[in-house]
């Protein structure tokens, strides 16, 4: 091949450049590989708790039962691992005589109440956060302008976004649990999480509102529509997909947080599902729930790491990761698709 006049000749500068650029590349891939490693380890070790090789292919008890104490013992020379309920049935007719019999808390059964609790927490707090967040965003982008008050508002939102989640937890504890006397309850968790995620939603919603071209508003106003009519019919519909995708990101964040619900909403163990045994309908809101993230914290810190506890530990971590990752993934896919779909 003949040399082109613009062809790069090898020189010291170019070699250095190549090396430096490779360093940047390596750094990038180190991050990606390490996170992929985490993802894959938890998936491989956890998938066994959820998926089975025989029909129905899904470990239904793991997804539908409550956590139980695991009994590990030898019976007639065979190693046995039974959950508390099964163990009671088993020992009702037989006597287990194993000096090495041991029990591990939280390691048998499933995670159904935790999933339910997480869903309830996320749904409730998102409703609150969306109402507050979207309204705030509408105010900031449509009515606000750039006065002193709006500056203050923006500053507050920006600062609120930086407050550590544990501080939100403590605030929720002091205000809702103690001061309002709501105790450790679903509703206390809702408000704590909603306040925590509000800045994220406001920022995201404002961004999508601002993306709606000014002409849409001007056209509507010129036709004599009021401000609210304009917003309702010519701004919100176009911003809504953007707002929703961004709030999905907020959902992922709410679902993933543990610290704020530790002392505002989550229980290590409750016997009843949130809707069971209610003396009054409002009790539903004023009772704590079990939640997946808190459950994972409990099973990874309070019980040992061994073959008997692995099923619960990796299984819950996997399910949780799957839930949060799919929420985040949905938001990302939707966002890229919407960016392509909405071009003005």
Restricting to residues 155-174, name those near other proteins by CB under 8 A.
Answer: 156-171, 173-174
d(CA 342, CA 335): 10
CB nearer to other proteins: give 68 or 257.
257
d(CA 126, CA 239): 18
**CB 91 → other proteins: shortest distance, Å?**
32
CB nearer to other proteins: give 82 or 118.
118
Select the span of 14-22, 211-219, 270-278, 280-288 touching other proteins (CB under 8 A): 14-22
Which of 126, 142, 242, 289 binds other proteins (CB under 8 A)? It is: 142
Restricting to residues 285-324, name those near other proteins by CB under 8 A.
Answer: 293-294, 296-297, 300-301, 305, 313-314, 317, 320-321, 324
d(CA 117, CA 344): 42
d(CA 175, CA 165): 15
Dihedral through CA 265, CA 266, CA 269, CA 273, nearest 10?
60
Which of 178, 222, 223, 278 binds other proteins (CB under 8 A)? It is: 178
**Should residue 259 be labelled a site residue for other proteins when binding is judged by CB under 8 A?**
yes
The residue ranges of DSSP E strands in the chain, in sequence order, are 67-75, 78-83, 102-109
Say if CB 147 and CB 163 are below 8 A apart. no
What would the two tokens of residue 34 be?
């390490």
d(CA 187, CA 176): 9
Placement of tokens 């968790």 in the chain? 189
Each residue 179-208 as x (binds other proteins by CB under 8 A) or -, in order, gives x---------------x--xx--x------
**Should residue 237 be labelled a site residue for other proteins when binding is judged by CB under 8 A?**
no
Each residue 72-91 as x (binds other proteins by CB under 8 A) or -, in order, gives --------------------
């Amino acid at each position: 091949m003949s040399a082109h006049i613009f062809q790069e000749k090898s020189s010291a500068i170019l070699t250095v450049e190549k090396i430096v650029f490779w360093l940047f590349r390596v750094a990038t891939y180190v991050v990606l590989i390490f996170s992929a490693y985490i993802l894959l380890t938890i998936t491989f070790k956890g998938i066994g708790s959820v998926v089975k090789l025989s029909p129905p292919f899904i470990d239904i008890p793991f997804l539908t039962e409550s956590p139980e104490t695991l009994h590990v013992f030898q019976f007639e020379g065979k190693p046995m691992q039974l959950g508390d309920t099964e163990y009671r049935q088993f020992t009702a007719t037989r006597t287990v005589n194993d000096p090495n019999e041991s029990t591990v808390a939280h390691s048998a059964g499933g995670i159904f109440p935790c999933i339910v609790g997480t869903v309830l927490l996320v749904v409730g707090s998102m409703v609150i956060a969306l109402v507050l967040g979207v309204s705030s965003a509408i105010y900031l982008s449509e009515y606000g302008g750039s006065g002193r008050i709006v500056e203050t508002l923006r500053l507050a939102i920006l600062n609120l976004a930086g407050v550590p989640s544990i501080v939100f937890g403590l605030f929720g504890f002091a205000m809702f649990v103690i001061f309002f006397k709501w105790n450790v309850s679903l509703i206390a968790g809702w408000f704590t999480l909603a306040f925590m995620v509000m800045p994220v939603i406001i920022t995201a919603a404002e961004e999508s509102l601002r993306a709606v071209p000014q002409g849409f508003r001007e056209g509507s106003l010129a036709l004599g529509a009021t401000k609210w009519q304009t917003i309702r019919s010519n701004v919100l519909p176009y911003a809504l997909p953007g707002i929703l995708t961004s709030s999905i990101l907020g959902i992922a964040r709410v679902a993933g947080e543990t610290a704020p619900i530790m002392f505002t909403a989550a229980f290590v163990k409750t016997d009843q599902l949130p809707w069971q045994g209610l003396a009054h309908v409002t009790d539903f809101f004023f009772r704590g729930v079990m939640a997946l993230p808190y459950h994972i914290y409990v099973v990874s810190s309070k019980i040992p790491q061994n073959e008997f506890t692995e099923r619960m530990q990796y299984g819950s971590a996997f399910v949780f990761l799957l839930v949060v990752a799919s929420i985040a993934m949905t938001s990302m896919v939707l966002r890229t698709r919407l960016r392509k779909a909405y071009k003005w």
